[in-house]
A and B are shown apart, each in its own frame.
Chain A
Amino acid sequence: MLSRIGNSLFWMGRYIERAEHIARYTKVQYVSSLDAPLAQSKDFVLESILSMAGVYYKYFGLYPQLNEEDVINFVTLEETNPFSILSYISGIRENARGTRDCISLELWEAINQCYHRVNSYSAARLQSEGVFRIAKLVEESTSVIKGYIDNTLIRNEVWMLISLGIHLERAIQVSLILLTKIRDIDKIDKEKLGGPVENYQWTTMLKSAESFDMFKRYYAANPNRRNTLEFLIFNPAFPKSISFNLNYIHKSIRDIAFHEKKEAGSINFMAGKMANSFKYMTIEDTEGGLTEFLNKTLKDLYDLANVLEEKYLNF
């Protein structure tokens, strides 16, 4: 496979996952703030959305103050914002266009359709229908796209690189969600911790990662700091947890069988080291340094992606 094509496939996967997570996070934060306990301030939610999407400073460089419509539009449909959902979906399509000759027609049509739907979504419609509709549209379209990826492609390098992109990005997005929500929780008054306000934040965290229902099945308990973090970071069987995705990344890299020795600095080594260190850790090991731990995880993931791109996907 051409390195350029590999690069496009990898990024197609990453953009799919990224668009989906930002859409869901925006929706969950916004919708759950509508009936939040103790009338959580709107600004709090809008700031959280901006920082999760990574456009907090970019937004304030363009707009004087927080405004609900501006924030939602900026994160979802703003075409001049390279980090908006629309931009990511354009990215998915551009990458798919460049790799038309190795993906299925069904996959291409699903991506093309998703692009046209989001691209023709007007700001006026966003205003009248609210964030819920557009987020649902993006979540459903990306699910359909991922369905075609899994059900129409041969399990060769094409599929493996898209999957690698998806799962690497998912590990990154879940880490970002955790970091953002922990920052949100840290902003809450100390005396209110432990009560419904904190409980509400853990629920939102789980919903943002599409994990609330499975969490309840697994623990049969209300979410708290310990079980929520354990579930989203270390559960080896749950497809949204960081640990699950690290294992997946390691397996994908082994399957692609890049021509390299298994030595320190090889991507096989890097991915294996990360995945295995998560296997032998518990939530207690992160106590007192959770933010540092998550930041380190993010850095390792970005490093892995950089080495992968420089060594094999460069053209």
Chain B
Amino acid sequence: MEASTLAAVPNGVFSDYELNPKFLDEVFDNHGNINYHYEKVLAQFAQYLPENFKELNEHAKLSFFNQGVTFAVYSDKAKGVERIFPFDLFPRIIPAEEWAQLEKGILQRNLALNQFIFDIYHKKQILKDGIVPAELIFTSKHYLKAMMDVNPVGGIYNHISGTDLIKHSDGQYYVLEDNVRTPSGISYVLSNRETMKRTLFSLFRKFNIQAVQDYPQQLLATMQSVAPEGVDMPTCAVLTPGMYNSAYFEHAFLALNMGLPLVEGRDLYVEKNFVYMKTIYGPKRVDVLYRRIDDDYLDPLSFNPDSVLGIPGIMGAYREGNISLLNAPGTGASDDKAVYSYVPAMIKYYLGEEPILNNVHTYRCEIESDYKYVMENMEKLVIKPVDESGGYGILVGCKATKEQISEFKQIITANRRKYIAQPTMALSTHATFIDDDNHFEPRHIDLRTYSLLGKDRQFVLKGGLSRVALVKGSLVVNSSQGGGSKDTWVLDDNPTSHQNGSFQSQSQSQGGQSQSQSQGGLSQSQTQGG
């Protein structure tokens, strides 16, 4: 019998599951009823004893460890300790129709951002029209003068975007951040799926889950689509800061899965505005570079002169149109958290559409009235620096002490442009296996999505990285702040069109297969009988 409520789930792994009415739980509603798209998962999990689950969990961890999906813990260098990125076996499930809206919204947003970036490096029309304040852009440390009047192939700047979403207690998705510099985490999405398939294979048969495995091919096609003019067979490469970078695993993973060389700055050099890599057979020209190095470090001649990671002169080659860079330099001026508040206006301005995804209301401390409100309501707000990522430098007002709040007030007052504030968003919770206690507890989650823009092509990965704040009650999900992750399943269960189609094609192919199989089986049984 399948349980339909929390209380009816047997065997105790959910016995201490406390629903908090202040937050939306992805798995259960407020009365403890199981949401319909989770029923099959709970039916399966109900068959496991806590010990079984622990064993599965260990199995999954070992799978990550042996795949080398680890990051070094720098403080404990003596014995070369490595940890895996914590992973939870309970998948986050998104129904098809819910996803369809998200996908449209993500694409809309990133297309508008792309036009915005083009605009601020060309005519600056949106600034002249007073839709976005000009000083906001010109004071951004990510706004690069070197990008003025540069025309990237296909007019694409933010080829790869990692839009972060949350689900609020009102049941709506909100965009939390637009990451259009070098968003990371995709390797975890693919490794999580691989581990899930190894560990909970039987569960996969009960759902129609959208595949995520085609991301590397899509990324490669995106790279090739923006090859410099006149290059038919572009040489593409992935540029990494090196193997001691915390995301090196991901850089290598993507290069391997796209079949591209993984290069470092010291492998490349620029001659007469063309970029070459040093190979055992001599120099080879590079046409497209997916770079995982920040703008600052890209070219010591143009930006940070102390950078040893970059390639002297690459910006010259870029401006000449001899190499394409993904993402384009200078995109960071658009994912600044203060600029974030203008994205809905950008969507209307450039696309003439209503924004599909919600924005979180944002107070910009440099505006007098906003600043005043922030100062008076610190404990209701989350304060963020506009240009940091990875969850650094954030103050969650409701969790902060009086000392921290007064300290932060001074910090903000000293540099008002640098800070924004947002109401504390009630990130939804999701059942998560807690290792030490051997049972499930609700933990807050968000969703990192991945979308690609190329010349005449667009792609949104059907899935993403559901990041989990593993510390009880914490709202900070970043991996650098003790977060973990879940596999994210986008269902393909549209009953009218898609499933009928796939059912037909499935039954057809089954017919074909069963013929040849039964022949083989027949001859086998004949031999055995004889």
Contact = CB atoms under 8 A, between A and B. Distances in A.
Interface string A81-100: 00000000010001001101
A108 B282 contact: no
A102 B66 CA distance: 18
A161 B281 CA distance: 13
Interface in A75-126: 79, 90, 94, 97-98, 100-102, 105, 108-109, 112-113, 116, 119
A5 interface: yes
A104 B247 CA distance: 20
A101 B262 CA distance: 7
A1 B252 contact: no
A315 B268 CA distance: 9
Contacts of A116: 65
B281 A259 contact: yes
B518 interface: no
Nearest to B281: A259
B348 to A, nearest CB: 43
Interface in A296-312: 312
Interface string A3-37: 11110000000000000000000000000000000
Contact of A101 (B80, B261, B266): B261
Given A119-B80, A259-B282, A2 B263 contact: yes
B243 A157 contact: no
A108 B68 CA distance: 8
Contacts of A258: 280-281
A90 B80 CA distance: 10
B143 to A, nearest CB: 34
A2 B243 contact: no
A98 B243 contact: yes
A283 interface: no
A14 to B, nearest CB: 16
Contacts of B253: 100
Contact of A313 (B256, B280, B282): B280
Contacts of B78: 79
B279 interface: yes
B243 A1 contact: no
Contacts of B263: 2
Given A4-B264, A112-B68, A119-B80, A256 B255 contact: no
A1 B68 contact: no
Nearest to A120: B79
A166 to B, nearest CB: 18
A109 B67 contact: yes
Contact of A4 (B65, B267, B282): B267
A79 B77 CA distance: 11
Contacts of A98: 243
A79 B78 CA distance: 9
Contacts of A100: 252-253, 255-256, 262
B280 A157 contact: yes
Contacts of B248: 97
Interface size class of A (residues with CB under 8 A): 20 to 34
Given A2-B261, A2-B263, A4-B266, A256 B66 contact: no
Interface string B236-280: 001000010000100011011000111110110000000001111
Contacts of B282: 259
A6 B262 contact: no
Interface bracket on B: 20 to 34
Contact of A112 (B66, B243, B278): B66
Nearest to A113: B66
B79 A2 contact: no
A260 to B, nearest CB: 10
A101 B252 contact: yes
B396 to A, nearest CB: 37
A161 B280 CA distance: 11
A227 B11 CA distance: 72
Contacts of B281: 1, 258-259
A60 to B, nearest CB: 25
B149 to A, nearest CB: 34
A119 B253 CA distance: 24
Contact of A3 (B238, B255, B278): B278
Nearest to A157: B280
Contacts of A161: 280
Contact of A109 (B68, B79, B80, B260): B68
A256 B282 CA distance: 13
Contacts of A101: 238, 252, 255-256, 260-262
Contacts of B261: 1-2, 5, 101-102
Interface in B46-82: 65-68, 78-80
A119 B248 CA distance: 21
B238 to A, nearest CB: 8
20 contacts: A1-B261, A1-B280, A1-B281, A2-B261, A2-B277, A2-B279, A2-B280, A4-B278, A79-B78, A94-B243, A97-B243, A97-B248, A100-B253, A101-B255, A101-B256, A101-B262, A102-B256, A112-B68, A113-B66, A119-B79
Interface of A: 1-6, 79, 90, 94, 97-98, 100-102, 105, 108-109, 112-113, 116, 119, 157, 161, 256, 258-259, 312-313, 315
Interchain residue pairs A-B with the least CB separation, the first 7: A100-B252, A101-B255, A101-B256, A101-B262, A6-B280, A3-B278, A312-B280
Given A5-B261, A101-B252, 8 more contacts: A1-B280, A100-B255, A101-B260, A101-B261, A102-B256, A256-B280, A259-B282, A312-B280
Interface of B: 65-68, 78-80, 238, 243, 248, 252-253, 255-256, 260-264, 266-267, 277-282
